[in-house]
Structure 1
Amino acid sequence: MDRLILQKAASYCAYQERTQDEVKLRLKKWNVWGDEADEIIAELISMNYLSEERFAQTYAGGKFRVKNWGRMKIRQELNRRGLSNYSIEKGMSEIKDEAYISTLKELLTKKKRLLEKTETDKFKLKQKLVRYALGKGYESELVWRLVGEE
């Protein structure tokens, strides 16, 4: 195993959390694949530079807090990145129910204030609010319940 490549890969992982797929792609760019790439990934995991659970927790928490994404969108994105169900569940546990609901309420309130300036039809306003929240990845029954309370 090439120590220089391992060092490069370690600093790549130290910069920010990565998935195994992202590291594999980067190793391919450096012309490392097959058993050697698997060895390097195994070494990075044993050195704790690479952890898919940690990636999932950081990713889920960040997308929720910074971008206000809903659980469905976050889960879909983690799935797309090839994470195991166990890692995905670990990541989703970062999002607490109280914070989740209050964030959605806040999002809907802000969006409603914005839309009320142009939309006079109450029915269309509700539809636009629901579409907005669903686009952010929130669950439809929760969205409809909260929009109904408005």
Structure 2
Amino acid sequence: MKSICTPKEALQKLEHFCAYQERCHDEVVSKLYSLKMTSDEIDLIVVQLIEGDFLNETRFACSFARGKHRMKYWGKIKITNELKARHISSTNITLALKEISNEEYFETFENLSERGWNSIHEQNALKKRKKFCDYMLRRGYESDLVYEKVKELEQN
């Protein structure tokens, strides 16, 4: 099997790929496999990308956590699971979650839960409660937060 490009060309392509947006090691390795590079070439290119500071797992994890929370309103559980799926170390996951302040996290949770609760047009109180809890849990928020919030919302 012949590579699509030389290791040098692949390195240039991957430098652009990583400069455009933060990437994790998995994405870079997949991209290199798609360019038909050998395992040895991939290892070499990944090392060069790390040394050139194009690839930084900690920076990726922090950027990912901030972005998913601020743009998609994900909770910490979903962010953690997504980072684990990308084989990010638990140390980097912990650092990434520290990027989201408690004030910001709870403010987002409050806004999302109010919006979510008001958007569910269900007459049956139990069904509405279930839909709300499922929605917030899917978004990755902690179950104790969600159940406390649903009790509070039902009172109003």
TM-score, normalized by length of structure 2?
0.88
Q: Which residue of 2 aligns with 1:136?
A: 139
In the TM superposition, 1:84-95 aligns within 5 A as 84-95=89-100
Match of 2:13 among 8, 17, 23: 8
Match of 1:113 among 118, 121, 137: 118
SS in 1 for 2:23: coil
SS in 2 for 1:31: coil
Q: Which residue of 2 aligns with 1:31?
A: 36
Structure 1 residue 43: deviation in Å? 0.8
The two structures, once aligned, show a CA RMSD in angstroms of 1.4
Percent sequence identity is 39
Match of 1:72 among 77, 86, 93: 77
Aligned length: 148
- In the aligned structure 1, how far is the partner of 2:104 from the partner of 2:129? 23
- In the aligned structure 1, how far is the partner of 2:102 from the partner of 2:37? 43
Q: Which runs of 5+ in 1 are unaligned?
A: none
The answer as to whether partners of 2:15 and 2:49 remain within 8 angstroms in 1 is: yes
- In the aligned structure 1, how far is the partner of 2:91 from the partner of 2:40? 25
Match of 1:44 among 18, 27, 49: 49
Q: Which moved more, 1:56-65 or 1:94-103?
A: 94-103
Q: Which runs of 5+ in 2 are unaligned?
A: 1-5
TM-score, normalized by length of structure 1?
0.91
Structure 1 residue 63: deviation in Å? 0.7
**1:83 maps onto 2:98 in alignment:** no
The answer as to whether partners of 2:65 and 2:97 remain within 8 angstroms in 1 is: yes
